[in-house]
Amino acid sequence: MDLANYKKVWKNQPEEKNKISALEIYKMTQSKSNSLVKWIFIIGLLEFVFWFAINYLGTKNGALEPYEKLNLINFIDNFNYFHYVLVVLFLILFYRNFSLISTGDDTKTLMKNILLVRKTVKWYVYYNLIYAVVFSIILNILIFNTPDGINILSGIDNESFNKEHMMSVFIIAQIVVIAIMILILWLFYYLLYGILLKKLNKNYKELTKLNEIS
Amino acid sequence: MNDFEKNQNIVHKICRIYTTNQDEHNDLFQEITIQVWKNYSKFRGEAKFSTWMYRVALNTAISLFRKSKRKIKTQDFSDVSFKIKSVDYDDTKDKQLKALYLGIRGLNDIEKALMFLYLEDKPYKEIAKTLGITEVNARVKMNRTKQKLKKILNP
């Protein structure tokens, strides 16, 4: 049987026997959505809160006390103000891109806009990682250029300890911590967004591939 | 939501294509209802309500819907959904319809949408607009999808 005949069968198919009443439809509209867009939005917001909290907590709880002694507080404050401005800009971008999502759009545009929201969050995470690295590098340079900088910071008040040795331990420790952090984050994001966006990525590829066939 | 209620048969057909059991069918139907309700304010009447609804429903099925993880206890839905409604309904046609649905389920998400719009007699211009591709690409992809479906239906 050819498709034209199947088309006739399709057209003559009986109507759904379990018709949903207007009241039931209204009740459905009041129930919670379980859509991909909702989860992308929630996870995106949680990421903003998470990174903001990490940064905020890092500057509280007495963590800055040694830096006060080194007169680096002004530098850290200025760096933080700059950081907060960028966080706000990212948040604005996140909301703007999120509001572009409309299920009334064509399928390709909709997918592109969903992926754009995800990309905004990805840039935000990259920014935070780069910020952490740049911040530590500048801070290290300032500490090592301050006389007795390491002594004050490490709390060791011993003239005889090897300054250069301490310096390398300090730097290696920081590199290891950052590397582990990036690895954990990469694994986490790979799994989280990998699972969440698997279907969307596959379908988006299928649609973009279409542009290459003609 | 009156228009939605009147056009719900379209949504049921999409649910049958994109899901394999009654629980999933109901979940997808509910998600499409929510999406139509939430986005209705953005519907500006530049197209017919049903045209707009095709988009929202297909978009929800293709991009937004996430199957819930709960265990499925209901029987396979292809056995229950097409029971003969009227006395004079032909049994062969029922079997052919079942075969068609099973065949379409063997396609990928985009191909399903293309085939659905073809069966619903939508012009290529509208199909292309719904999916966000060019008319030429829609035609090329449609021909390939038809061939694929033919092979599934007549192995």
Look at A45-59, A161-175, B14-28 and tell me which has the smallest mean pLDDT: A161-175
Look at A65-79, A173-187, B68-82 and tell me which has the smallest mean pLDDT: B68-82
Residue A46 has pLDDT above 70, yes or no: yes
Amino acid A130: pLDDT: 87
Collapsed DSSP state (helix, strand, coil) of residue B65: strand
CB contact under 8 A, A214 and B4: no
Contacts of A7 in chain B (CB under 8 A): 118-119, 121
User: Could you tell me the residue ranges of all domains in chain B?
Assistant: 1-70, 88-155
Look at A50-59, A75-84, A144-153 and tell me which has the smallest mean pLDDT: A144-153
- A150/A123 Cα distance (integer angstroms): 34
| Percentage of chain B modeled with pLDDT above 90 | 58
Amino acid B10: pLDDT: 93
A-B contacts (CB, under 8 Å)? 160
CATH architecture assignment, domain B1-70: Orthogonal Bundle (1.10)
The ipTM (two decimal places) reads 0.83
Amino acid B84: pLDDT: 44
- B100/B149 Cα distance (integer angstroms): 9
Collapsed DSSP state (helix, strand, coil) of residue B21: strand
Amino acid identity at B149: L
Give the pLDDT band of residue A113 (cuts 50, 70, 90). Answer: very high
CB contact under 8 A, B93 and A9: yes
When pLDDT is averaged across residues A181-188 and rounded to a whole number, the result is 85
Look at A13-17, A68-72, B115-119 and tell me which has the smallest mean pLDDT: A68-72
Q: Are B56 and B32 in contact (CB under 8 A)?
A: yes
CB contact under 8 A, B82 and A14: yes
Q: Whole-prediction pTM value?
A: 0.81
Look at A121-135, A148-162, B131-145 and tell me which has the smallest mean pLDDT: A148-162
Residue A52 has pLDDT above 90, yes or no: no
Instruction: Supply the angle between the helices A107-145 and B49-59 in degrees, to the nearest 10.
Output: 50
CA A35 to chain centre: 19
Alpha-carbon distances of B87 from A14, A30, B81, B148, rounded to whole Å: 12, 38, 16, 34
Nearest CA in chain B to A30: B34
Amino acid A63: pLDDT: 63
CATH architecture assignment, domain B88-155: Orthogonal Bundle (1.10)
Provide the token pair at A44.
């995106």
CB contact under 8 A, A6 and B153: yes
DSSP state at residue A112: H
H helix runs in A107-162, sequence order: 107-145, 149-154
Distance from CA of A183 to the nearest CA of B (A): 28
Give the pLDDT band of residue A161 (cuts 50, 70, 90). Answer: low
Residue A137 has pLDDT above 50, yes or no: yes
Give the pLDDT band of residue A88 (cuts 50, 70, 90). Answer: very high
CB contact under 8 A, A33 and B133: no
Residue A131 has pLDDT above 80, yes or no: yes
Q: Are B145 and B111 in contact (CB under 8 A)?
A: yes
Q: B54 versus A181: which is more confidently predicted?
A: B54
Q: How many angstroms separate the first and last alpha carbons of chain A?
A: 29
Residue B21 pairs in a beta bridge with: B76
Nearest CA in chain A to B57: A103
pLDDT tens digits, residue range B70-123? 555 544 555 444 544 444 556 787 888 999 999 999 999 999 999 999 999 999
Which residues, 6+ apart, have CB-to-CB distance to B130 below 8 Å? A106, A107, B54, B55, B58, B113, B117, B122
When pLDDT is averaged across residues A93-121 and rounded to a whole number, the result is 92
| Percentage of chain B modeled with pLDDT above 70 | 86
